[in-house]
Amino acid sequence: MVDQTLSGKTALITGASRGIGAAAAHAFAQAGANVALAARSTDDIDAIAKEIGDQAIAIPCDVADPDAVKAAVDQTIDRFEALDILIGNAGMIEPISMLAETDLAAFSKAVDVNFKGVFYGMNAVLPHMIARGSGTIITVSSGAAHGPMEGWPTYCATKAGAYMLTRAADHENRDKGVRVLGLSPGTVATKMQRDIKASGVNRVAELDWSDHIPPEWPAAALVWMCGDAADPYLGTDVSLREDEIRRMVGLI
């Protein structure tokens, strides 16, 4: 993989208790960054932070709560004196259901996490990054942000909204020194894919487990995206399905 140095940088990662978020916490720490792990699963992020050591802190945080997100940003800055990187990774696939049959409470919860959670993170961290004249914001996106999938109207719509936030934040802040982009990782071997498989809905559920990439791949891509080599992709999604991207990250 590409040897990217992030020594002296600090990254806040949401949804850091498992899957891509947990792998990213380890990858950023290995690249030399301080890492703040934010998630609702406090025991899990505590354990990961202990594995990493003094350069990591665990912050209980529900991204659907704007006050909790702001507090996570403030706590990270208080501990490490700055916040250079925000990884908006927290997300959920549920509800998997046809639009006409979707439970409204489940829909609202997904909007709170997948869309509002991304907005809250950007809103909380941008003033700090703008004041410093530097920073990187990366949202973990999806191919579902760019095309409809049967049984995923909520997921597709919320991911599409998050993608537009990436575009808007880049449009407003690139000339202020803030880099904003997204990562579309493809299908990753995480709990989300097990839930999709169990649903039996649409062609993604038909994929074999061996078709999914390990979470360490998108974690490595996120580290790479914090460097200048990813600047041509500012304001858009980097697709880890593309061999060219995989080569640049050093995966193939």
pLDDT tens digits, one per residue of 137-176: 999 999 999 999 999 999 999 999 999 999 999 999 999 9
In tens, the pLDDT along 9-34 reads 999 999 999 999 999 999 999 999 99
Whether 237 is in a domain gets the answer yes
Backbone angles phi, psi at 188, to 5 degrees: -120, 140
Please report whether residue 4 resides in a domain: no
pTM of the model: 0.97
State yes or no: pLDDT of 3 exceeds 80.
Answer: no
Which backbone phi and psi does 86 adopt, to 5 degrees? -115, 125
118 is written with which tokens? 């991304």
Asked, for residue 252, whether it belongs to a domain, the answer is: no
Query: pLDDT, tens digit, for every residue of 101-132?
Result: 999 999 999 999 999 999 999 999 999 999 99
Q: Does the residue 47 lie in any domain? A: yes
Q: Taking 80 as the threshold, does the pLDDT of residue 2 lie above it?
A: no
Query: Considering 120, 155, 163, 233, which one is annotated as catalytic?
Result: 155
**Within a domain: residue 166?**
yes
Cβ atoms 83, 135 nearer than 8 A: yes
C-alpha separations of 141 from 74, 155, 238 in Å: 25, 11, 9
Task: Judge whether 111 lies within some domain.
Answer: yes
For the chain, the straight-line distance linking the first and the last C-alpha, in angstroms and rounded, comes to: 8
Domain extent at residue 176: 10-247
pLDDT surpasses 90 at 1: no
Give the total number of structural domains in the chain.
1
Q: How many CB atoms lie within 10 A of CB 76?
A: 24
> Residue 3 domain-assigned?
no
Give the domain CATH number at 36.
3.40.50.720
Report residue 65's pLDDT band, with 50, 70 and 90 as the boundaries: very high
Q: Active-site residue 163, yes or no?
A: no
Nearest alpha-carbon partner for 79 in 62, 63, 60, 56: 56
Tokens for 12, please give them. Answer: 């806040």
Asked if residue 44 belongs to a domain, the reply is yes
pLDDT > 90: what percent of the chain? Answer: 98
